[in-house]
Amino acid sequence: MSFIQSGNAITKSENTIYLQLQAFSKRHQVFIDMEMPLIPVLIRMERHGVKIDVTQLHKHSAELAKSLQVLEKQAHEWRAANLI
C-alpha cells in the first residue's frame, strides 16, 4: 500500500469515526436532556402505581386492530400488484 493510499484510508477512517462520535454525542444529549429528567417521574409511578382507564384501553385496542387490518390489506394488494 502506498503512502497516498494509506493517507486516503486514514482520512476515510477519521471521517467515519467523526460521524460516529457526532451520532453518539446527539444520543447522549437526548439521554441527558430527555431521559434523565424522567427518572424521578418513573420512580413515583413505580411506587404509587398508575391508573388505567380500561374502557379507553379496549377502545384504543379495537382502533389499532382496525388500522392493522387496513394496513395488512394494503400490503397484500401491493404485493399482488407488484408480483412479477
Higher pLDDT: 42 or 65? It is 65
Q: Which residues of 29-43 are buried (b: 16+ CB within 10 A; e: fewer)?
A: eeeeeeeeeeeeeee
Model pLDDT, residue 6: 67
The amino acid at 20: Q
Report which DSSP code applies to 33.
I
pTM > 0.85: no
What's the alpha-carbon Rg for the chain, to the nearest Å?
25
Domain spans of the chain? Answer: 1-50, 51-84
Q: Tens of pLDDT along 15-56? A: 888 788 888 888 888 888 988 899 889 898 888 988 999 999
